[in-house]
Chains A and B, each alone.
Chain A
Amino acid sequence: MKKILFIKLICFCFLIKAQKTYTNIALLGGFAHIGNGKVIENSLITIKGSKIETVQNATGIKINPSAFDTVIYINGKHVYPAFINVNNVLGLHDAEAVKATRDFNEVGIFNPHIRACIAYNTDNLIIPTVKTNGVLYTQVTPRGGVISGSSSIMALEGWNWEDALLKADDGIHLNFPKTIIQKWADDDKHFQESNKKYIEELQQLNEFFNDAFAYYNEVNPSEKNIRLEAMKPIFAGKANLYIHADKAKDILNAINFCEKYKCPKLVIVGGKESYKITKVLKEKNIAVMLNRVNDLPDSPDNDVDLINKLASYLHKDSVLFCFQLEGDMEAMQSRNLPFNAGVAVANGLDKEAAISALSYNTAKIIGVNNLIGTIEEGKLASFFVSNGDALDIKTHQIVLAYIAGKPINLINRQFELYQKYKTKFGLK
Chain B
Amino acid sequence: MIKKITIILVVVFVCKLYAQTTFPTNGAPYNPHTVYAFINANLFVDYETNITNASLLVKDGKVIDAGKNINIPKHAIVYDLSGKYIYPSFIDLYSNYGIGEISSSKSINNNPQTISNYKGAYGWNQAIKSDIDASKLFQHNKDKAFELINNGIGLVLTSNKDGIVRGSGVLAMLNCNQNENESIVLDKAAAFYSFNKGSSSQNYPSSLTGAIALLRQTYYDAQWYKNLINKTEYNISLECFNQLQNLPAIFEANDKFNAIRANKVALEFNQKYIIKGGGNEYQRLEDIAQLNSTFILPLNFPEAYDVSDILDADNITLTDLKHWELAPSNPAFLEKQNINFCFTAYDLKDKKLFLPNVRKAIKNGLSEKMALKALTHNPATLINCSNKVGALKSNYIANFFISNKSVFEDDCEIIQHWINGQSYINKDLSPIEIAGKYELKFNSNLFKVTIQNNKAKSVVLIDTSKKLFNVNLKNNLIHFSFKIDSLKNYRAIGNYNKTNKSITGKIENEIGDSFDFNLNFVDTVTSDKPKAAVSKINPLDYKKITYPFNAFGIGTNEQGNANIYSQLKKRNNNVLFKNAIVWTNETDSILNGYDVYISDGKIVRIAKNIDVLPLANVKVIDATGKHLTPGIIDEHSHIALTWGVNEGTQASSAEVRMGDVINPDDINIYRQLAGGVTTSQLLHGSANPIGGQSVLIKLRWGLNADDMKFANADGFIKFALGENVKQSWIPDYANMRFPQTRMGVEQVYNDYFTRAKEYNKNWNNFNNSTEKNKIAPRKDIELDCVAEILNKKKFITCHSYVQSEINMLMHVADSFNFKVNTFTHILEGYKVADKMKKHNTNASTFADWWAYKNEVMDAIPYNAAILTNMGVITAINSDDAEMARRLNQEAAKTIKYGNISEVEALKMVTLNPAKMLHIDNEVGSIKVGKSGDLVLWNNNPLSVYAKPELTLIDGITYFDKTENQKLIEEVKLERARIIALLLDAKKSGAKTSKYSSKTQRNYHCNTLNGVSEEITGER
Q: How far is the CA of A424 from the CA of B946 in the complex (A)?
A: 37
Q: How far is the CA of A393 from the CA of B894 in the complex (A)?
A: 9
Among A166-174, A180-188, A258-266, the stretch that binds chain B is A180-188
Question: When each residue 71-97 of chain A gets 1 if its CB lies under 8 Å from chain B and 0 otherwise, what string results?
Answer: 000000000000000000000001111
Given contacts A126-B851, A191-B998, A192-B996, contact A305 B315 (CB under 8 A): no
Question: When each residue 94-134 of chain A gets 1 if its CB lies under 8 Å from chain B and 0 otherwise, what string results?
Answer: 11111000000000000000000000000001100100000
Shortest Cβ distance from A336 into B: residue: B848
Q: What residues of A have a CB within 8 angstroms of the CB of B643 in the complex?
A: 187-189
CB contact between B851 and one of A301, A305, A329 (< 8 Å): that residue: A329
**Does A204 sit at the interface, judged by CB under 8 A?**
no
Q: What residues of A have a CB within 8 angstroms of the CB of B833 in the complex?
A: 421, 425
Given contacts A192-B997, A394-B943, contact A425 B896 (CB under 8 A): no
**Does B898 sit at the interface, judged by CB under 8 A?**
yes
CB contact between A418 and one of B314, B866, B1010 (< 8 Å): that residue: B866
User: Nearest Cβ distance between residue B86 and chain A, in whole angstroms?
Assistant: 42
Interface size class of B (residues with CB under 8 A): 35 or more
CB contact between B1001 and one of A184, A193, A392 (< 8 Å): that residue: A184
State whether B866 touches A425 (Cβ < 8 A). yes
State whether A332 touches B869 (Cβ < 8 A). no
Q: How far is the CA of A304 from the CA of B964 in the complex (A)?
A: 9
**Does B667 sit at the interface, judged by CB under 8 A?**
yes
Shortest Cβ distance from A101 into B: residue: B854
**Does A56 sit at the interface, judged by CB under 8 A?**
no
Q: What residues of A have a CB within 8 angstroms of the CB of B1013 in the complex?
A: 328
Q: What residues of A have a CB within 8 angstroms of the CB of B318 in the complex?
A: 300-301
**Does A64 sit at the interface, judged by CB under 8 A?**
no
**Does B945 sit at the interface, judged by CB under 8 A?**
yes
CB contact between A294 and one of B668, B886, B898, B998 (< 8 Å): that residue: B886
Q: What residues of B have a CB within 8 angstroms of the CB of A335 in the complex?
A: 848
Given contacts A97-B853, A299-B315, contact A193 B994 (CB under 8 A): yes
State whether B853 touches A305 (Cβ < 8 A). no
**Does B889 sit at the interface, judged by CB under 8 A?**
yes
Interface size class of A (residues with CB under 8 A): 35 or more
CB contact between B312 and one of A129, A188, A249, A425 (< 8 Å): that residue: A249
State whether A301 touches B317 (Cβ < 8 A). yes
**Does B179 sit at the interface, judged by CB under 8 A?**
no
State whether A95 touches B854 (Cβ < 8 A). yes
CB contact between A339 and one of B550, B885, B889 (< 8 Å): that residue: B889
State whether B311 touches A332 (Cβ < 8 A). no
State whether B853 touches A95 (Cβ < 8 A). yes
Interface centre among A304, A336, A421 (most CB of B within 10 A): A304
User: Nearest Cβ distance between residue B639 and chain A, in whole angstroms?
Assistant: 11
**Does B180 sit at the interface, judged by CB under 8 A?**
no
Could you tell me which residues of chain A, from 313 to 345, have a CB within 8 Å of some CB in chain B?
328-329, 331-332, 335-336, 339, 342-343, 345
State whether B1017 touches A193 (Cβ < 8 A). no
Among B127-135, B333-341, B855-863, the stretch that binds chain A is B855-863
**Does B895 sit at the interface, judged by CB under 8 A?**
yes
**Does A248 sit at the interface, judged by CB under 8 A?**
yes
Q: How far is the CA of A393 from the CA of B897 in the complex (A)?
A: 10
Shortest Cβ distance from A194 into B: residue: B994
Could you tell me which residues of chain A, from 182 to 208, have a CB within 8 Å of some CB in chain B?
184-185, 187-194
Could you tell me which residues of chain B, from 696 to 734, have a CB within 8 Å of some CB in chain A?
723, 728-729
CB contact between B896 and one of A193, A396, A422 (< 8 Å): that residue: A396
State whether B889 touches A393 (Cβ < 8 A). yes
Q: What residues of B have a CB within 8 angstroms of the CB of A273 in the complex?
A: 311
Q: Top 8 A-B pairs ranked by shortest CB distance? A: A342-B944, A300-B667, A97-B853, A193-B996, A418-B862, A97-B1017, A414-B860, A301-B551
Q: How far is the CA of A397 from the CA of B899 in the complex (A)?
A: 11
State whether A97 touches B1018 (Cβ < 8 A). yes
Residues in B lying within 8 Å of A, measured CB to CB: 207-208, 311-312, 314-315, 317-319, 550-552, 642-644, 667-668, 670-671, 674, 723, 728-729, 830-831, 833-834, 848-854, 856-858, 860-862, 865-866, 869-870, 881-882, 885-886, 889, 892-893, 895-898, 902, 905, 939-940, 942-947, 964, 968, 971, 975, 994-1002, 1009-1010, 1012-1013, 1017-1018
Q: What residues of B have a CB within 8 angstroms of the CB of A1 in the complex?
A: none
Q: How far is the CA of A126 from the CA of B642 in the complex (A)?
A: 35
CB contact between A125 and one of B728, B851, B946, B975 (< 8 Å): that residue: B851
State whether B945 touches A397 (Cβ < 8 A). no
User: Nearest Cβ distance between residue A117 and chain B, in whole angstroms?
Assistant: 21
Interface centre among A126, A193, A345 (most CB of B within 10 A): A193
Q: How far is the CA of A392 from the CA of B943 in the complex (A)?
A: 6
Shortest Cβ distance from B728 into A: residue: A97
State whether A397 touches B315 (Cβ < 8 A). no
State whether B1001 touches A339 (Cβ < 8 A). no
Q: What residues of A have a CB within 8 angstroms of the CB of B723 in the complex?
A: 97
Q: How far is the CA of A299 from the CA of B1009 in the complex (A)?
A: 21
Q: What residues of B have a CB within 8 angstroms of the CB of A393 in the complex?
A: 889, 892-893, 895-896, 942-944
CB contact between A188 and one of B860, B897, B1001 (< 8 Å): that residue: B1001
Could you tell me which residues of chain A, from 392 to 428, have a CB within 8 Å of some CB in chain B?
392-394, 396-397, 414-415, 417-418, 421-422, 425, 427-428
State whether A421 touches B729 (Cβ < 8 A). no
> What 4 additional pairs, Cβ within 8 angstroms, besides A418-B865, A425-B833?
A96-B853, A249-B311, A329-B849, A394-B905
26 inter-chain pairs at a CB distance below 8 angstroms, sorted by A residue, are: A95-B854, A126-B851, A188-B207, A188-B1001, A189-B1000, A192-B998, A194-B995, A247-B311, A249-B311, A294-B885, A301-B317, A302-B551, A304-B552, A304-B671, A332-B850, A335-B848, A339-B889, A346-B945, A393-B944, A394-B892, A394-B942, A394-B943, A417-B830, A418-B862, A425-B833, A425-B869
**Does A296 sit at the interface, judged by CB under 8 A?**
yes
**Does A391 sit at the interface, judged by CB under 8 A?**
yes
User: Nearest Cβ distance between residue A400 and chain B, in whole angstroms?
Assistant: 16
CB contact between B857 and one of A125, A304, A339, A391 (< 8 Å): that residue: A125
